[in-house]
Structure 1
């Protein structure tokens, strides 16, 4: 009898403990809802919201700093992002469009300036009666004349720094940036300060370009690219100087936990990745939905 009572009390206590554990775990899970974290690439930005008008303008645009918070819920999503100094946003015209036949279009550089919302410097350019902003190259200065053309010649052209031509018109070894993914889409690749891609070779009817990450991409010869290396070359080598300036730049301090370097910091020898072909057929259009109606 005593043993039976002892076993029954033990089972009751174990049931109570398991119920409490389940309740506690459920409460903890319910108190932490799933948060959608930012993904690298063309995902959601948690640094700032730029208030774009309907038409393109060279007037500096208003910016709302998010400091790593979700604009809808207000929760901190990206912990390393801070508010930073308030900056105006200069709208870059990524599409360098020129004539498909005849002489190239000429554009004049009015001013080269710094931009607080990007690492590379920008240039104010006049095209006829229109003004626009583009990314400045390493040696670009006020008064330079830039050429833009979409004509694909039989013999490669000798382009100067800042000129925009299709990839098929440029010789092998040319340094390029602001490369289009598809013809007419606008410069999508290589925007950071001091970076550049290199035209390596022509493969069948494609142009193989080595990106700043040393990966090789294969583009259509009709994709536009701007010649030269991007400005602000010393951006990566310039020390920040003080923790306060790091906060001005919009970076929050780390946790302060000292961590010893482990094996992941060692030397690794990996084979180069294969050439990635950039084409318009990578994302096929969605299938059409056909509704069927019953005939009475």
Structure 2
């Protein structure tokens, strides 16, 4: 098996290969170990492992820092990670669920605090006799009453900052975050500090939202979204200040990093990408296999 992989990138057979080619292929194979590096966006973190219990809790959770290493093999996968202040993890409740009919559900903000494991601030919210953590909005403070509803009314609602409604219930121009990809599965988009999306228009039963990247996404009108901008707006404009504080943040120093060119060979201005339609993944039919008696 290893020999087949060794000659996989060569155009000649192993019988006709030279000794020098074998040596070069062996060196290349030895210098490139078989590591399955994750593709971006799959949700696999090499910075920390959070030890989640079976049931939701507001108790700070213990974490195991990985320093960029794979938890199974121990190999360094993500460089530039290491050290940092040890933080405990606060479990965010991403699903803002409310009644589909009648008045909206009211929730009270108990406390707004910083979280070392994310850029945005979080808020402790009381719903009935239960407590949960959510992402705090820009102007949220303790004592605020926020509302949650899944009802899709005929006329748009006048929502306040921190309220959660379906996208179809909000008027055009509303600033939102914590948008669901599929109705009922919890918020997936726009979590970073100071980010927000803007509802632009409606297309049939779809809602067009401009994301923080200025790209347009088309969501189902029954997807939930939270009104307002994510808290900690000054996060991106705050300088780190010193190399030591960069180590406190868990960033390992690296030299000789690639830098984007400036000038006429630098970044090009490209047209915006087309609207991306966000919907539940469907089942695809398997391709037809045609068999014949000829090799």
Question: Who is 2:290 aligned against?
Answer: none
Over the residues paired in the alignment, what is the CA RMSD in angstroms?
2.0
Mapped partners of 1:196, 1:184: distance in 2: 21
d(CA) in 1 for partners of 2:258, 2:44:
31
Give the deviation of 1:261 after TM superposition.
2.9
Q: What is residue 254 of structure 1 aligned with on the other side? A: 254
* Higher-helix-fraction structure: 1
Is the CA contact (8 Å cut-off) linking 1:38 and 1:45 kept in structure 2?
Answer: no
Specify the alignment match of 1:278 in structure 2: 278
Aligned residues of 1:120 and 1:136 also touching (Cα < 8 A): yes
TM-score (structure 2 length as normaliser)? 0.86
CA distance in 2, matches of 1:92, 1:272: 33
Contact 1:197 1:212 in 2 (8 A): yes
Offset of residue 20 of structure 1: 5.1
Alignment of 1:92-111 (within 5 A): 92-111=92-111
Q: Distance in 1 between matches of 2:163 and 2:138?
A: 13
Moved more, 187-196 or 79-88: 79-88
Question: What stretches of structure 1 of length at least 5 have no aligned partner?
Answer: 1-17, 288-296
Structure 2 SS opposite 1:107: strand
| Alignment partner of 1:148 is 2:151 | no
Cα separation, 1, equivalents of 2:285 and 2:63? 35
**SS of equivalent to 1:23:** helix
Instruction: Give the distance between the partners of 1:209 and 1:102, measured in 2 at CA.
Output: 27
- Report the Cα offset of residue 83 of structure 1: 2.8
Residue 67 of structure 1: aligned partner: 67
Say if 2:118 is the partner of 1:118. yes
Local SS of the residue matching 2:123: strand
Aligned counterparts of 1:118 and 1:285: Cα–Cα separation in 2: 36
SS at match of 1:202: strand
Q: Distance in 1 between matches of 2:167 and 2:231?
A: 21
Q: 1:27 to 1:229 in 2, by over 3 A?
A: same
Residue equivalent to 2:202 = 202
- Return 5+ residue gaps in structure 2 as ranges: 1-17, 287-295
* CA–CA separation in structure 1 for the residues paired with 2:259 and 2:88: 38
Contact 1:107 1:147 (C-alpha < 8 Å) held by counterparts: yes
Question: Which residue of the partner structure matches residue 133 of structure 1?
Answer: 133
Task: Identify the residue that residue 166 of structure 1 maps to in structure 2.
Answer: 166
TM-score by length of 1: 0.86
Using the alignment, how far apart are the partners of 2:143 and 2:24 within structure 1?
A: 70
Supply the distance in 1 between the matched residues of 2:284 and 2:267 (Cα, whole angstroms): 43
Q: How many residues of Structure 1 are paired with residues of Structure 2 in the alignment?
A: 270
Alignment partners' CA distance in 2, 1:258 and 1:24 = 28
Q: After alignment, is 250-259 or 139-148 more displaced?
A: 250-259
